C-alpha cells in the first residue's frame, strides 16, 4: 500500500535544515516544497498516461502511432507555454509498419482462439488462410529439401530445441528494491578499466552459438518465403498469456521480403506442438493485414524548452528525456510511456511553479530507441559530437547534464552515477529531501540499454535513475500486457517530483555537473 504524501511546513523546515547541515551542496528548500506540492498534490501523470497509451496507442518507430504521438506532444508542450516545441529529424530510419487486422484460431481438433500478434515489419497473409499445420523439422536449410514444393499457402511450425515445457514460477511478478539491495548498490566500488559489468552476456562461445542459431533460422525463414508459405507460427517467450514481442524483418527501405509470421503465446504454441508431435491433425485459420509506410524514411525526436534567463548561463543547457517509441503488441505503457509521462510532468511542474531557470531546460522524447538508441544517438551526433571521431561541437561545452528515465513504472529510488564519482555528493544532497519517498541511493554503478548512453559515449554527464523493478521484466517489458493498467500512479508522481527537483537544481547551480575524462573515438557501429 502506498502512503499519502502530505507533510507540514514545519516538518519540511526541520528535515531540510538537517539535510543542509549534512551536505555542502546547496538545496533550495523553498523550491523543493513547491515542487513537492505541485508534483504530489496536483499531478497530471494519469491524464498524460491516458492520452499516450489509451488514445494514441502503440508507437512503433515510423508508424502512424508514433507520428500521432509526436503531434500530440508538440501541441501539449506548446499549450504548456514551452518554447521551440518541434519535431526534429535525427537522420534516416526506414520503413514504417502497422497492423490493420489480426485473427488466428485452431479449428481442429477443436476451435480455440490463439493469443499472439504479427511480428513487426512482416507482411500480411493477403486474405484469410486456412490449412493443416505442418511441423517443419529442420536444423539447416539443407533439411528443408524434403518439403520442397509442399508448403505453398500452408501454415507451418518449426521444430526447435529452444522450445521447452513451461514451469511454474514461485517468485512474485512484482517486486521493489529492498533496503539491502539499495545498500549494496550504494556501497559498490568503481569498476576497473575493461571490467565487465555484472549481469552481462555470456562468453565468446555462447555468443558465437547464438549468432549461428540466428543465422540458421534466418536462412530457413528465407527458404520458407521462397516456398511461399501461408504463415509461420513462432514460439514467443513468456507465460500465463503474456508474450514478449519482437521484429521479424528489417525495417530498411530495401529490405528483402519475408513470409508472414505470428508470435504465439507459449501456452497456445505448445498446445499445437504437442498435438503435432503426437501425429494429431491440427488445423489453423488466420488473417493478417499489415501496412508498410515508405513515404518518409526519416526519424524524428520531439524537442521543447523552458528558456534560460541568466545573462551568463542562459545558453547552457540542462536536458531530460525518455524514449517515446514502443513495441506494438501492447500500448507501450511501462516501456516507455512511463518515462515520457514523468518527463513531460516534470516540465509541467516547473511551469506550474512559474520557474524561471538560469540555464535553458530542454526535454527530448526520443525516437527509435527500441531499434538501437537511434533517436538519441542521432541527436547527440548532430548537436554534441560523433563518438567515432570525438570532434566536439560547440554545444558539447554548454550541456550541464542529461537525465533519463526508462525502466518502467517503478518509483525513483536513487541514481546511477555511470562511473562519474564527481557527481556523488551533489546528487546525494539533492536526494536527501526525498528520503521519505524512498529515494536515497547513489551508486557508482553503470546501467545500460537506454538513451543516457548516447551522452556518456561522448563524455557528457548522462544519467539514468534507479527505479523499483515492479513487474517490468516479468510481465510488461516488450509484451502484450504493457498497458495503462500496469502503471502505478503514486510511483509516477514520486518520480516526476524527484526529477523535477534534480532539473531545478542543475539549472540553478553555479557550475555545470562534473564530467568524466573524454573517451577515445570508437569504431563505427555496423
Domains parsed from the chain with CATH numbers: 9-95+300-508 (3.40.630.10), 97-169+212-291 (3.50.30.30)
What span, in angstroms and rounded, lies between the C-alpha atoms of 53 and 337?
A: 7
The rounded Cα 450 to chain-centroid distance in angstroms is 7
As a 3-state breakdown, the chain gives helix, strand, coil percent values, each rounded to 5, of 35, 20, 45
Window from 13-22, 146-155, 163-172 with minimum mean pLDDT = 13-22
pLDDT digits (tens, 9 = 90+) for 347-363: 999 999 999 999 999 99
- Contact indicator for 125, 231 with CB cutoff of 8 Å: yes
What average pLDDT score do residues 2-8 get? 38
Nearest to 365 by CA among 145, 48, 124, 146: 48
pLDDT of residue 1: 40
The structure's pTM equals: 0.93
Cα–Cα distance measured from residue 165 to residue 319, given in angstroms and rounded to the nearest whole number: 46
The arithmetic mean of pLDDT across residues 56-78, rounded, is 98
φ and ψ at residue 310, rounded to 5 degrees: -80, 130
Is residue 9 over pLDDT 60?
Answer: no
Mean pLDDT highest for which of 12-16, 141-145, 273-277? 273-277
Task: Please give the pLDDT value at position 193.
Answer: 64
Average pLDDT over residues 4-27: 49
Q: Is the pLDDT of residue 204 over 80?
A: no
Q: Which three cell numbers stand for residue 163?
A: 522450445
| CA dihedral over 178, 179, 184, 190, signed as positive or negative | positive
Residues paired with residue 106 on neighbouring β-strands, in sequence order: 112, 284
Q: What is the structure's pLDDT at 195?
A: 56
Highest mean pLDDT among 130-144, 190-204, 443-457: 443-457
**pLDDT at position 406, please?**
98
382-394 confidence digits (pLDDT tens): 999 999 999 999 9
The more confident residue out of 414 and 526 is: 414
User: For residue 220, is pLDDT > 90?
Assistant: no
Per-residue confidence band for 194, with pLDDT thresholds at 50, 70 and 90: low
pLDDT-based confidence at residue 143 (cuts at 50, 70, 90): confident
Q: What are phi and psi of 330, to 5 degrees?
A: -115, -150
pLDDT at 231 over 70: yes
Q: Is the pLDDT of residue 18 over 80?
A: no
Mean pLDDT of all residues in 435-445 = 98
Q: Nine-digit cell at 24?
A: 555542502
Q: Provide the H-helix boundaries in 113-265.
A: 179-186, 204-226
Q: 373, 393, 374: which is closest to 383 by C-alpha?
A: 393
- In angstroms, the CA 439 to CA 202 distance is 32
**pLDDT tier at 203 (50, 70, 90 boundaries)?**
low
Amino acid at each position: 500500500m502506498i502512503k499519502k504524501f502530505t507533510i507540514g511546513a514545519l516538518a519540511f523546515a526541520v528535515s531540510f535544515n538537517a539535510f543542509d547541515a549534512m551536505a555542502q551542496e546547496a538545496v533550495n528548500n523553498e523550491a523543493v516544497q513547491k515542487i513537492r506540492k505541485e508534483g504530489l498534490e496536483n499531478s497530471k501523470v494519469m491524464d498524460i498516461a491516458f492520452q499516450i497509451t489509451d488514445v494514441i496507442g502503440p508507437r512503433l518507430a515510423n508508424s502512424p502511432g508514433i507520428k500521432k504521438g509526436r503531434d500530440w506532444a508538440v501541441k501539449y508542450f506548446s499549450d504548456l507555454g514551452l518554447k521551440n516545441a518541434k519535431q526534429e529529424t535525427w537522420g534516416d530510419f526506414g520503413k514504417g509498419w502497422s497492423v490493420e487486422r489480426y485473427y488466428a484460431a485452431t479449428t481442429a481438433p477443436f476451435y480455440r482462439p490463439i493469443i499472439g500478434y504479427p511480428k513487426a515489419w512482416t507482411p500480411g497473409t493477403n486474405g484469410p488462410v486456412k490449412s493443416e499445420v505442418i511441423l517443419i523439422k529442420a536444423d539447416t536449410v539443407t533439411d528443408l529439401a524434403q518439403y520442397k514444393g509442399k508448403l505453398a499457402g500452408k501454415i507451418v511450425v518449426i521444430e526447435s530445441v529452444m522450445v521447452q515445457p513451461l514451469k511454474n514460477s514461485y517468485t512474485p511478478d512484482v517486486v521493489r528494491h529492498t533496503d539491502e539491495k539499495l545498500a549494496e548498490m550504494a556501497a559498490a566500488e568503481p569498476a576497473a578499466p575493461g571490467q565487465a559489468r555484472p549481469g552481462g552476456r555470456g562468453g565468446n562461445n555462447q555468443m558465437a552459438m547464438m549468432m549461428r542459431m540466428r543465422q540458421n533460422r534466418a536462412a530457413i525463414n528465407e527458404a520458407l518465403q521462397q516456398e511461399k508459405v501461408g504463415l509461420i507460427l513462432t514460439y514467443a517467450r513468456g507465460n500465463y498469456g503474456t508474450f514478449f514481442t519482437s521484429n521479424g524483418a528489417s525495417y530498411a527501405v530495401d529490405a528483402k521480403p519475408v513470409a508472414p509470421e505470428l508470435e504465439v503465446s507459449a501456452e497456445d504454441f505448445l498446445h499445437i506442438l504437442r498435438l503435432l508431435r503426437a501425429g494429431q491433425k491440427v488445423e489453423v485459420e488466420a488473417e493478417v493485414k499489415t501496412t508498410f509506410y515508405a513515404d518518409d524514411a526519416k526519424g524524428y525526436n520531439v524537442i521543447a524548452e523552458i528558456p534560460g534567463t541568466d545573462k551568463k548561463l542562459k545558453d547552457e543547457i540542462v536536458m531530460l528525456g525518455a524514449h517515446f517509441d514502443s513495441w506494438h503488441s501492447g500500448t507501450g505503457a511501462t516501456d516507455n510511456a512511463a518515462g515520457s509521462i514523468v518527463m513531460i510532468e516534470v516540465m509541467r511542474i516547473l511551469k506550474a511553479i512559474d520557474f524561471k531557470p538560469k540555464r535553458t531546460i530542454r526535454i527530448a522524447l526520443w525516437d527509435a530507441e527500441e531499434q538501437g538508441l537511434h533517436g538519441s544517438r542521432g541527436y547527440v551526433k548532430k548537436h554534441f559530437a560523433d563518438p567515432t571521431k570525438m570532434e566536439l561541437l560547440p554545444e558539447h561545452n554548454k550541456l550541464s547534464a542529461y537525465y533519463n528515465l526508462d525502466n518502467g513504472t517503478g518509483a525513483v529510488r536513487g541514481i546511477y552515477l555511470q562511473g562519474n564519482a564527481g557527481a556523488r555528493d551533489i546528487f546525494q544532497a539533492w536526494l536527501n529531501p526525498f528520503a521519505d519517498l524512498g529515494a536515497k541511493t547513489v551508486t557508482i554503478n553503470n546501467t545500460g540499454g537506454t538513451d543516457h548512453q548516447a551522452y556518456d559515449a561522448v563524455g557528457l554527464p548522462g544519467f539514468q535513475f534507479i527505479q523499483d523493478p515492479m513487474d517490468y521484466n516479468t510481465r510488461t517489458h516488450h509484451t502484450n500486457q504493457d498497458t495503462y493498467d500496469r502503471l502505478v500512479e503514486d510511483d509516477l508522481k514520486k518520480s516526476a517530483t524527484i526529477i523535477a527537483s534534480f532539473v531545478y537544481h542543475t539549472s540553478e547551480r553555479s557550475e555545470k555537473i562534473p564530467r568524466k575524462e573524454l573517451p577515445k573515438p570508437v569504431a563505427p557501429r555496423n
